[in-house]
Amino acid sequence: MEDEYTDREQSGIKHFALRKYLGPATRIIGSGWRGFTYVDCCAGPWESQSADFSDTSFGIAVAILKEAEQSLRDRGRNAKFKALLIEEKSSSYKLLAEFARSATNDRVSVEARNWDFREHTDEIRRFVANPKSFGFTFIDPTGWTLAEIAGLEPLLRIEPGEVLINLMTSFIARFINNEATKLEEVLGPDYRDMRTLSHEEKEDEAVRRYCDLIKRQGRFPYVCALPVMKHDQDAIHFYLIFATRNLKGVEVFKEVEKRTERETEVVQANKQQRARPNLDLFTPDVLFKRQERYQRLSERSKVNARRALDALLDNKAIIDYEECWAEAMQFPAVYEQDLGDWLGAYERSGIIQVNGRAKPGEVLKRKSGHTITKVRP
């Protein structure tokens, strides 16, 4: 990872994930729709170390929009790309406005606004609104108050569209026991029940509850969560919460999650190696010790995903493999291989019957007509 992310590696990981999702998303959506609109609600710039803002979310996004527009135009497609960059703090907004002016060209429009985005949701919706264009909204606050559902509902309901939100779970878990902290709009009205949980359980439950709120208020069938580790501790700093109405979005985001997991390992390994220069005979991959916090999250998440899968199988006489896949993939650190292992074990034990295979032993896949029936005693 670039030197500009030194001691803020978690921002680098966040930008890595944003880049890896927006790249394919703009090309996929741009070839199926007539346009793509990116909205950055808390643009900053914050802690940028690059003169061209290439280490900021908005700098990355605008560069990707331009690349996607050029790629599609080379293929004979005329798609309109535009970006709305929003910042409330006046001093940061001046830099943002200068960037927007310099970044705009005759093919990609970039506009900046000095707003508290929660007070201008109608204007944001009008900027995005186009039934033939796709909207992507990124909300990256420095705390949790700007992630409160009450202020987000109009943006969550933009259709067609997707949303990516930075949820600061480490802050939430730290302050949830403080009576002065109000978290109803992030965790629901009964959030005080979480106070008896351990710190890690509070983080996990906060993610689950917030994802449920996003689903309900935005009418999203699919909401995924990607953990981002702290750069200097074996702890999770925040989650990227991704909401989509399309299974293709889930597929691309899960691939991003897998690649981000690997990138995190490389970043942490490099950091460990810099801290122990006498071990420079070894590559970072050899030196790296996977964070125990992530391992514990992975184990608990797999248990919860399997429970959700069991509930699906119990509640339906016959179920499409796609539905099983979509349910499981919404849990962090759960991948299709895990789902395949669970279903394979169930089939060998006679718990389920798989239908629609073209030949015996065919691997279960989406869009292949595979269905599953639970064998009733």
Q: Is residue 360 scored above 70 in pLDDT?
A: yes
Which of 85-99, 177-191, 246-260 has the weakest average pLDDT?
A: 177-191
Cα(86)–Cα(41) distance, rounded to whole angstroms? Answer: 5
Q: Is residue 315 scored above 90 in pLDDT?
A: yes
Q: Which residues contact 23 (CB under 8 A, 6 or more apart)?
A: 64, 67, 68
In the chain, what is the straight-line distance between the N-terminal and C-terminal CA atoms, in Å? 55
Cα(111)–Cα(103) distance, rounded to whole angstroms? Answer: 9
Q: Is residue 237 scored above 80 in pLDDT?
A: yes
- For every residue of 214-254, DSSP letters joined together read HHHHHT-SEEEEEEEE-SSSSSEEEEEEEEESSHHHHHHHH
Cα(20)–Cα(41) distance, rounded to whole angstroms? Answer: 20
The CA distances from residue 117 to 43, 91, 153, 320, 355, in Å, are 10, 16, 12, 40, 49
Q: How is the chain split into domains, by residue range?
A: 3-270, 305-374
Q: Is residue 96 scored above 90 in pLDDT?
A: yes
What is the predicted pLDDT for the residue at 287?
43
Q: What is the mean pLDDT of residues 160-187?
A: 93
**pLDDT tens per residue, range 329-350:** 999 999 999 999 999 999 999 9
Tell if the pTM clears 0.85, that is, is over it. yes
pLDDT band at 253 (very low <50, low <70, confident <90, very high): very high
What is the predicted pLDDT for the residue at 332?
97
Pairing mode of beta strands 80-86, 108-113: parallel
Contact present, 55 and 4 (Cβ < 8 Å)? yes
Q: Is residue 2 scored above 80 in pLDDT?
A: no
pLDDT band at 109 (very low <50, low <70, confident <90, very high): very high
pLDDT band at 277 (very low <50, low <70, confident <90, very high): low
Pairing mode of beta strands 236-244, 222-229: antiparallel
Cα(9)–Cα(271) distance, rounded to whole angstroms? Answer: 9
Q: Which helix (H) or strand (E) holds 303?
A: helix 292-315
What is the predicted pLDDT for the residue at 279?
53
Nearest alpha carbon to residue 369 among 333, 305, 317, 321: 321
Cα(22)–Cα(162) distance, rounded to whole angstroms? Answer: 11
Q: Is residue 30 scored above 90 in pLDDT?
A: no
| 189 prior amide bond cis, ω within 30 | no
What are the structure tokens assigned to 283, written together?
């590559």
Cα(334)–Cα(201) distance, rounded to whole angstroms? Answer: 18
**Edge-to-edge strand list for the sheet holding 236-244:** 108-113, 80-86, 35-40, 133-139, 161-167, 236-244, 222-229
Which of 42-51, 147-156, 264-273 has the weakest average pLDDT?
A: 264-273
What is the predicted pLDDT for the residue at 286?
45
Report percent pLDDT > 90 for the chain: 76
Q: Is residue 290 scored above 70 in pLDDT?
A: no
pLDDT band at 93 (very low <50, low <70, confident <90, very high): very high
**pLDDT tens per residue, range 299-308:** 999 999 999 9
Query: What is the overall mean pLDDT for the chain?
Result: 91
Cα(309)–Cα(344) distance, rounded to whole angstroms? Answer: 13
Tell me which CATH code domain 3-270 carries: 3.40.50.150
pLDDT band at 207 (very low <50, low <70, confident <90, very high): very high
